[in-house]
Amino acid sequence: MSHPHPELGPPPTLPDGGLRIVALGGLGEIGRNMAVFEYDGRLLIVDCGVLFPEPDQPGVDLILPDFEYIRDRLDDIEAMVLTHAHEDHIGAVPYLLRERRNIPLIGSKLTLALIEAKLSEHRIQPKKLEVVEGERHVFGPFDCEFLAVNHSIPDALAVAIRTPAGIVLHTGDFRMDQLPSDGRLTDLGGFARLGSEGVDLLMSDSTNAEVPGFVTSEREIAPVIDEVIRTSEQRVIVASFASHVHRIQQVMDAAAKHGRKVALVGRSMVRNMGVARDLGYLKVPPELIVDSRDIEEWPPQDVVLICTGSQGEPMAALSRMANRDHPIRIAQGDTVLLASSLVPGNETAVNKVINGLTRWGARVIHKGNAKVHVSGHAAAGELLYVLNLTRPSNFMPVHGEWRHLRAHAKLAALTGVPDDHIVIAEDGVVVDLVDGRARIAGAVHAGYVYVDGTSVGEITDTSLKDRRILGDEGFISVVVVVDSATGKLTAGPEIHARGSGIDPAQFDEFIPQIERALEDKAADGVVDMQEIRRVVRRTVGRWVSDTYRRRPMIIPVVVEV
């Protein structure tokens, strides 16, 4: 079983006839999925998604893949295949298209419609090619065959990439729901046919590799949603991903059955459901939808609201309702249904929202206390099924954290894939498929690129460290005025503190220590302003640490005269 090593260096030149695969995201994490395939100097990209920030990344809106590896080769990109329209697979597309606007986007009807709606907000008109399952299209040296897969959003696709180096089957996100609400099954026959032809490398979704058995059918959720809406005496507020068309269809069906009106809340929810309805993926009964601005005019027992915010996102509608920062006010007796999975890392934020909603008198129903969600990702039994159908010569688990990747690798070994043909990589690790063998060949940089408002890539890990310190410990600024010729103190020190929890009166007793430290440096002939700043920072830092056992950010300001 091959795995990355921290000392991996840059990869050598790709051998003639070899296929190179570099994941710029999606390995060792849930999100930011992006894989770059290279053959004969040409590139094919599969997905280009975002990762959502965790609590220790304050102020960050989104995390993008680092495009540095391909930045000098944008003209070599033949196309970008989008397997489906979840944000962790398409959210970074606008940022890549800013660097080359005419990269062809390849995807299903719904996928392209949702990305086009997103791109319109960035004033980008994409070049696109709509494909359906069963079709094959050639992009430079890449012969791509598209296969239907069932997922928690309609129109998801797997892609088989043929080059002279062999066949790579990339499943995208998938599950094997045998009774899908839209009737669209994962194309197991197509997987088996490819297995007979010879899959040289299988890249398969690992998100649920630790979960035994098979995922429950989406149809089993409908009766639970129906029961919640039937028995609720006041408003029902359903929080879901803005792309989960199947789940929202179930909510609308139950609302219509029980005579309730539906209001969509949240820009992305309104946009995506409008696209899904226009394309026929969402069936909306006549006069069911009402404007959310008019919702107060309807009796509470006649209303269902569908909003964003199931992951506790601070600016999403549900979080704002919980914080009393939204026009829609949670009232005693309201029912809130969280109809989504819990993305790892969001537990604290979601629990905070649940507590906030409960505080205002709402009954909160979630995956922990009712069967209101089934996963869109194949469990171990389904992954074994695909491994046995495709019988890959080489296997590379993708889309998951480390524990998911390793669990999936063990499943592959159980089905007979030799250990030395199983490649566990992480973001930036270069995998070459040469002469029928997949091996790690090196590594390239594949760090995080942070989006903060309109800023892209300007926020660094150092900036985030500073933000965490400011948030946890506060800051102390110290202003001193020194003689530029002698280094002697001429005015100050003047100390200001915010969020440090230190009584300002205590600084009066400490100021003489700063004065003595500066006098000693001046006596030694030190006139370098940078060194004087260091003296102030060290002196203040030592005193705060010894006295309060705290480590606030210390900002020395030295003014020369």
Lowest-pLDDT choice from 163-172, 200-209, 439-448: 439-448
* Choice between 205 and 364, residue whose per-residue pLDDT is larger: 205
107 phi/psi in degrees, rounded to 5 = -175, 180
In a 3-state reduction of DSSP, which class is residue 162? strand
List binding-site positions for substrate.
Answer: 242-244, 373-377
- Reported as type and span, the H/E element at residue 415 is none
Catalytic residue among 170, 246, 377, 421: 377
pLDDT at 554: 81
Name the DSSP letter for residue 444.
-
List binding-site positions for Ca(2+).
Answer: 59, 61, 452
DSSP for 483-523 reads: -TTT--EEEEEEEEEESS---THHHHHHHHHHHHHHHHHHH
Q: Which residue has the tokens 């909510």?
A: 251
456 phi/psi in degrees, rounded to 5 = -125, 115
- Return the structure tokens found at 53: 């920030």
pLDDT at 476: 79
* Choice between 215 and 345, residue whose per-residue pLDDT is larger: 215
Q: How confident is the model at residue 542 (pLDDT cuts 50, 70, 90)?
A: confident
- Return the structure tokens found at 67: 């495009």
Please, what are the domains in the chain?
Answer: 20-213+375-452 (3.60.15.10), 218-365 (3.40.50.10710), 461-560 (3.10.20.580)
Are the C-beta atoms of residues 476 and 495 closer than 8 Å to each other? yes
- Give the C-alpha separation, 232 to 334, whole Å: 8
- Give the C-alpha separation, 71 to 73, whole Å: 5
pLDDT at 344: 60
Task: Show Cβ contacts of residue 459 under 8 Å, excluding neighbours closer than 6 positions.
Answer: 59, 60, 450, 452
Name the DSSP letter for residue 221.
G
Catalytic residue among 155, 205, 427, 432: 205
pLDDT averaged over every residue in the chain: 88
- Give the C-alpha separation, 323 to 349, whole Å: 12
Q: How confident is the model at residue 131 (pLDDT cuts 50, 70, 90)?
A: very high
Pairing label, strands 136-139, 166-170: unpaired
Task: Show Cβ contacts of residue 81 under 8 Å, excluding neighbours closer than 6 positions.
Answer: 44, 45, 46, 47, 106, 107, 144, 159
- Return the structure tokens found at 80: 């970008």
- Give the C-alpha separation, 32 to 69, whole Å: 15
Closest CA to 90 of 77, 102, 75, 107: 107
List binding-site positions.
Answer: 59, 61, 84, 86, 88-89, 151, 173, 242-244, 373-377, 399, 452
pTM of the model: 0.84
- Give the C-alpha separation, 151 to 34, whole Å: 18
* Choice between 492 and 249, residue whose per-residue pLDDT is larger: 249
List binding-site positions for Zn(2+).
Answer: 84, 86, 88-89, 151, 173, 399
Which residues are bridge partners to 178 per DSSP? none
pLDDT at 72: 94
CA angle 26, 32, 36 (to 5 degrees): 65
- Give the C-alpha separation, 477 to 342, whole Å: 41
Does the pLDDT at position 547 exceed 90?
Answer: no
Catalytic status, residue 377: yes
157 phi/psi in degrees, rounded to 5 = -135, 145
Closest CA to 128 of 93, 152, 162: 93
Task: Show Cβ contacts of residue 534 under 8 Å, excluding neighbours closer than 6 positions.
Answer: none
Are the C-beta atoms of residues 438 and 20 closer than 8 Å to each other? no
**pLDDT (tens digit, 9 = 90+) per residue, 75-125?**
999 999 999 999 999 999 999 999 999 999 999 999 999 999 889 888 899
Catalytic status, residue 205: yes
- Give the C-alpha separation, 431 to 475, whole Å: 46
- Give the C-alpha separation, 107 to 128, whole Å: 8
Q: Is 121 exposed, middle or buried (0-12, 13-18, 19+ CB in 10 A)?
A: exposed
Pairing label, strands 105-107, 128-130: parallel
* Choice between 242 and 157, residue whose per-residue pLDDT is larger: 157
pLDDT at 44: 98
- Give the C-alpha separation, 156 to 243, whole Å: 12
